[in-house]
Amino acid sequence: MKKYGKKIVTLALSAAMALGMTACGGSSDKKETTAAPSGGGETTTAAPAASSGEAIKVGIINNDPNESGYRTANDKDLQAMFGPGNANGYEGSFAYSLKNDEQIAAAQKFIQDGVDYLLLSAADTAGWDGVLKDAQTAGVKVILFDRTIDADPSLYEASIVSDMDKEGQKAADWLESQKLSEYNIIHIQGVMGSAAQKGRSGALVDKANANGWTIVEEQTAEWNAEKAQQIVQSAIDAGKKFNVIYAENDDMAKGAVAALDKANISHGVGKDVVVMGFDCNKWALEELLAQNWNYDGQCNPFQAKYIDEVIKKLEAGETLSEKTIIMDEKGFDATTITQQDVDDYGI
């Protein structure tokens, strides 16, 4: 009797679990192309555009769309351009992984499948020479987006990237233009060594040294809002004086602001503390619009139209004037931002 009872319990639970799983699956819309994020080398293929006779076959290798809001927006943008039901004459296949070896395996598969173009946002900068040479031999054209790699430039047609140094420079210039009577800055950094952190930190530190600004605290919160909250909390508890928060992404700026709110320190346009963030998340731009924050720097995730232009040029037999294409990126000021900007640039 007891034995059966146990079995029934086990069965019921496994059934419940399975149900739970499907329930989660059910609520996740019908985006089957994005439904294989952690599965590494899994790929999904979009149906070719029905109208045109010969679709351009494109293999897209990207990082996991769950990685960040930036990546989600980036994936959405690419899906809209190359994904199922696009009207641009592309037949796109997508592969997602945060691991280099899985990405390389996916690239090999795409080459075997005979894609015309391979679009790549590499997880890691090293290790791509072999597979890119294979691509070259097979006549597959490679276009890098979002991230560069350590490989001979002859192995790829173009690289479409953000200039993180410029993003930082823009923000630091803006901060200087505010002409505050004194600059006491809490500098919250991203994951140390990442391109975004280096670019965004570098510009601020240079500017601070040149103008004699005080950096009250410089600490990495690893893109994490909770850590940023604790860092600013610690500065407040220690009674430090500061009037600028320079956070290297929006999440960390949000965490910092949560700590300010708790201590009743006013922030935003014309208030005690200037708040700066990066990435232009929609909610962050809304904070700007409400003048709770002061500045947000863009890190442009909308690379699809640049890639589209490059492919069109290559298809027409033109040569590209520049191999490295740096995207336009904006910096928004709370005093000038409009609802239109929020809608257009929020991710």
Partner 1 sequence: MSKKKFNFDKQLLIPIAALVALVLFNLIVDPSFFKVTLGTNSSGNPVLNGYLITILDYGSELAILAIGMTLVTAASGGQDISVGAAIAISGSVILKVLCGSNTRPETLQAPIIVAFLVACVVSMLFGAFNGVLVAYFKIQPMVATLILFTAGRSIGAWINNNELPVISDESFTYFGGYIPGIPIPTPFLIAAVCVIVIMLVLKFTTLGLYTQSVGINGSSSRLNGINPEFVKFLTFVILGLCVAVTGLIKVSRLSTINYSVIAKDIEMDAILAVALGGNSLGGGKFNMMASVLGAYVIQFLTTTLYKMEVSASALPAYKAIVVILLVVLSTPVVRKKLDKLKRKLFAKKEVA
Binding interface with partner 1 (CB under 8 A): 2, 6, 9-10, 13-14, 16-17, 20, 24-25, 27-29, 31, 34-35, 37-38, 64-69, 72, 191-192, 217, 219-227, 229-231, 233-234, 236-239, 251, 254-255, 258, 260-266, 281, 283
Nearest-approach distance from CB 30 to partner 1, in angstroms? 10
CB 261 within 8 A of CB 292: no
> Is 83 or 89 the residue whose CB approaches partner 1 more closely?
83
Nearest-approach distance from CB 4 to partner 1, in angstroms? 14
Nearest-approach distance from CB 234 to partner 1, in angstroms? 4
Nearest-approach distance from CB 69 to partner 1, in angstroms? 6
Nearest-approach distance from CB 13 to partner 1, in angstroms? 5
Burial of 56 (0-12, 13-18, 19+ CB in 10 A): buried
> Is 183 or 223 the residue whose CB approaches partner 1 more closely?
223
> Is 162 or 189 the residue whose CB approaches partner 1 more closely?
189
Angstrom distance (rounded) from CA 248 to CA 246:
6
Nearest-approach distance from CB 14 to partner 1, in angstroms? 7
Nearest-approach distance from CB 91 to partner 1, in angstroms? 23
> Is 111 or 221 the residue whose CB approaches partner 1 more closely?
221
Angstrom distance (rounded) from CA 268 to CA 260:
11
Burial readout 19-30 (b: 16 or more C-beta within 10 A, e: otherwise): eeeeeeeeeeee
User: Going by C-beta distance under 8 Å and a sequence separation of 6 or more, which residues neighbour residue 281?
Assistant: 69, 250, 346, 347
CB 301 within 8 A of CB 78: no
> Is 44 or 136 the residue whose CB approaches partner 1 more closely?
44
> Is 93 or 224 the residue whose CB approaches partner 1 more closely?
224
CB 221 within 8 A of CB 188: yes
Angstrom distance (rounded) from CA 163 to CA 328:
9
Which amino acid, 194?
S
> Is 81 or 257 the residue whose CB approaches partner 1 more closely?
257
**DSSP letters of 219-251?**
EE-TT-HHHHHHHHHHHHHTT----EEEESSHH
